[in-house]
Chain A
Amino acid sequence: MFNPENLIRKGLPKGYFKDILVRSLLGGITYLMVLIAVLLFGKIIIDGAPAIFTSEFPFVDTEFLTAKNETLHVFDDAKGTRHQLPASKYNEYIEAHAGQQIYNEQTFSYSGGGIAGPIIGTALLTCGSIILALFFGVCAAIYLAEYAKQSPFIHAVRLAILNLAGIPSIVFGLFGFSVFVLAAPVITANPVDRSLLVLPLFIEGWALSFQGWNSSLMAGCATLACMILPVVITASEESLRAVPQGFRDASLAMGGTRWQTIRKCVLPFSLPGILTSSLLAITRVAGETAPIMFTAAVAAKDDFPWEGLANPFDILSSQVQALPYHIYTLAARIPSSEYTQRAQFGSVLVFLILVAMLSFGSMVLRAKMRKKLKW
């Protein structure tokens, strides 16, 4: 007998449990990643928070953010009270209590004071390299998006961009060291012996000597700029291409030249996009350590970069401290103890907050752009 009921399958569909199993497995993996990220961030916040937050107004330990980096001295006075003082205050203390014994003295390099030096150094490196990379990157992108036709040159450029983007950061470090530190041209009156090439300038004995910029802010900026150039070019080209063709056609139809079209009708509309994606490049530059290890960064420096300079341009040829390099020093070169925790986790938390703000900012801006720019 025909029974239509039989056509309707009863119970769970075939493969139901398998479906659930696979889905929950994949979902589990995904949320495991999220969980790990949250745990890592949580651990750093919990351990780093005491260093930069205080219970009183303004709730942020401004000293940690604005003081110079110093060696930390830990010692007991004769009464058995434990003191933790950075080097400058320690010297004051010793002078004030001359003649009194101190006991159990320990010193911890880089752990006292604050991290103003590294923060400023990272800011300088980031600004310098972004300015360079944006200038050259946007110009190159304009050529690729607006002028270029299929040609062997363009093909070579695209190949170069692709390859540059894949080079490991330590190789950029080697490149920066051998080119900007040891071989870049300088104008000097007395070239050193290892100079690659000396071209006389015929002005009072000055010569153009290819002897490098030494380990300095400008060598670091140049190395970092080379590293993020492909990122900036790709992002800028994308935002230039996102400007509708009609804008250009209209301008050209009105008799505008190519350059006028680009300046008035393309660049203004693509600028927000370029700047947004360059935020991402800033995040990457701020976080890189390997390229600046030999080109710009120094572990300990007593002065801020602008102190003790004869002329303001000397800042470019001086070494700087940098936050990622500082974290590397704190993690690798000093033994971990309860007295170094504040410096270690505090620096990492400050750094992570900076990076998180940048990357969050770029995400929000991008989302806004997508909503706003619909032509």
Chain B
Amino acid sequence: MSEAILAAEGLSKSFGAEAKRVTALDQVSLRARAGVVTGLIGPDAAGKTTFMRLAAGLLTPDAGRIAVLGLDATRDALKVQALLGYMPQRFGLYEDLSVQENLDLYADLQGVPRADRAPRYAELMHMTGLAPFMQRLAGRLSGGMKQKLGLACTLVRAPRLLLLDEPTVGVDPVSRRELWAIVDRLVRAEGMSVLLSTAYLDEAERCAEVILLHEGRVLDQGPPAKVSARTTGRVWAVTRPGTRSRDLQAQLEGRPGIVDALVQGEHVRVVTAAAELPAAIVDDKSIVVRAVPPRFEDGFIDMLRSRQPAAQHGTAAAAAADAAPPRTDNHDIVIRVEGVRRRFGDFWAVDGVDFQIRRGEIFGLLGANGAGKTTTFRMLCGLLPATAGRLEVAGLDLRHAAAAARQRVGYMSQKFSLYGILSVAQNLDFFASAYGLNGAARRTRIDWALTEFELAEFAEQASADLPLGFKQRLAMACALMHEPEIIFLDEPTSGVDPLARREFWQRINALARRGVTVLVTTHFMEEAEYCDRLAIMAAGKILATDEPAAIKARARSAEHPEPSMEDAFIGLIERAAGSSA
């Protein structure tokens, strides 16, 4: 084993005043090897950014020590900063400076001799593909290009250790792939050591070694295969001809002997507690089971579930799914979008979008930041008028009856839109009154929300202090106060941990089974598989609308016999770029 380029021992850090003290890192000890990519894996609020900042000498630990390149990162912060490259999550690009000027600034700050700059710039621009944009203002670059420029600025002087804090958040899959190619190249060709944090579990498999961080503690550390290997022989692709994966998943989830059940397009991916199939699967003769190789996520979920008693996860959600009456057979079209366009200044954010959604359908809008998802959403909520085209929600034309349509729609925004200083009960009360519920009706719905979403024990707590997963539950409860027949979810799961995400999707499935129509945006390729149908958006246009399996099937080729949703997405984008060029 090569030397440790970064080593933390008993590292603790907490923030805030006494009563509201939040522990970000709790007795963290870890080591990262030189010359490889080490992944710091965990959901939001796991302590990833705090760890990165401690390693960069930007924070002082409460206890413990952290050594970077053999130096104490806290005491010798300046020396450490001169040796490492650090790209914060929101990299500080100066948006009113051009690409060239940003590079010049960081080259000056890093003390790169002027003679060395031209070749280094050329190399970086070639690597990032930004060469044609040297004179463009950084503010005018796309999200993925900004991220690549941030990386280039961090690399103007080749650092020995590169710290990347969630470099792939909010970046489209194409840029994500390119960023990873750059990182791999740096490690291979320049022998650089990289510590990279991410909340995407599929990225863990690209790292030589991973550190699993959860609620400020290290769960495990080692090669990603070690985590996946936990579940070897316990992962299955399960189908039952004639049953939708979603319904099958609802039936299997939470049953004895089943650790995880996840919709994956045409089948359900099941992780069992033991190598033998449990009764829930064996007893159903019509179920078809096929063993599949384990993934990193299977091992991670297995690890998380083994740490908390099964009773704690999503029991109410599972019960809700069971109790749901069978879906109605009423399949009228409830949302109709025809030739909708929206312009901001001289920029078409949405440029001719058509789709229809049937009652009880889960419809996903998939696309990178800036693809036009949120704009489409706001138009459907009646918050933004369309420049052209026709929008119909629950049979009402939004041009004339936006307020009436809104009464039948529940909306949950990305930021959850809760009143942080109000308690859980007060938030529910407010949203109930905002939707015009009074007296007994209001009390009934609030009681329903507190029970259904398991929020009763937090009723008096300020919503700002809730863990992210509970905020998400509360936001959803608020959006459902008036029992809408349609619900819009704008990136509802970004940042929540994988367990909370599973629980959330169980609730969504239960709603859909009851005939509620769900429109959801996401940039998790994974989640796209949970939808009945998908529209893939890029640059304001829809590239494809179809069932997930069909979209994946289109990307099937000789070298990709089993393409993932990401492969399919990238294929569509490349084809669109090719046809427009």
The yes or no verdict on A and B being binding partners is no
Give the interface of B toward A (CB within 8 A).
Answer: none
Give the interface of A toward B (CB within 8 A).
Answer: none
